[in-house]
Amino acid sequence: MRIDEASSQISSRDVLNHLLSTNSLSEDAVRSAVKTISEQKDALRQQQEEEVEAEEPAGGGLMETLQLGGYFAEWYFFNIAYNIYNKQALNVLDYPWTVATLQMATGIAYFVPLWLLGIRKAPKLNASELKTLLPIAFCHTGVHVGAVIALGAGAVSFARIVKASEPVVTCALNAVLLGHFYRFLST
């Protein structure tokens, strides 16, 4: 039983019924009734906490940590495979802007039919949401094109260095464009 359900079940009506059952409406009787109801609420709250603790799987924290670590490992693996694929594509067609544009067009060719066929629900965006998302989409496109150009300019390891610098560039752009500075040490 949840505590909000318990609170709605233990109400002033319960206090009144308790008082009527004792045939006393004295001040001491009212205090006793309130104390009894309060103890019942505390007991229900304790019971609910014990039920919640019993529902938590043992070692859930470790499993969640391992699962998250697995997701990071997958992301890293697929990111490296993607970079190697891009480098191979650029070795065949040494036009990074063209390769980046073709990749973006492929993405559009993938999700638009899903929306049109109703396989995936198309997002409904109003003007305010579009105004918010367009700069983000523009910057994401720039990062993608920059990564492809970096792969074309050198080794895959160079592109990894460029990608690793993205958080620093983000902080610098936040400082320049938004006037927001990150503090390394909090006071």
pLDDT tens, residue by residue, 95-142: 999 999 998 899 899 999 999 999 999 888 899 999 988 888 888 888
Distance (Å, rounded) from C-alpha 69 to C-alpha 61? 12
Structure tokens at 96: 């990074």
Neighbours of 147 (CB within 10 A): 20
Structure tokens at 177: 């464009």
Residue 23 has what pLDDT? Answer: 61
Residue 19 has what pLDDT? Answer: 57
Average pLDDT, the chain: 78
Which residue in the block uniquely carries the two structure tokens 């891009």?
86
Burial of 172 per CB tally in 10 Å (0-12, 13-18, 19+) = exposed
The more confidently predicted of residues 155 and 10 is: 155
Distance (Å, rounded) from C-alpha 46 to C-alpha 55? 14
Query: CB–CB of 141/103 below 8 Å?
Result: no
Question: What is this structure's pTM?
Answer: 0.51
What are the C-alpha distances in Å from 41 to residues 15, 33, 116, 150, 173? 12, 12, 54, 64, 53
Residue 61 has what pLDDT? Answer: 82
Residue 114 has what pLDDT? Answer: 93
- pLDDT band at 6, cuts 50/70/90? very low
Enclosing H/E stretch for 83: helix 60-92
Residue type at position 181? F
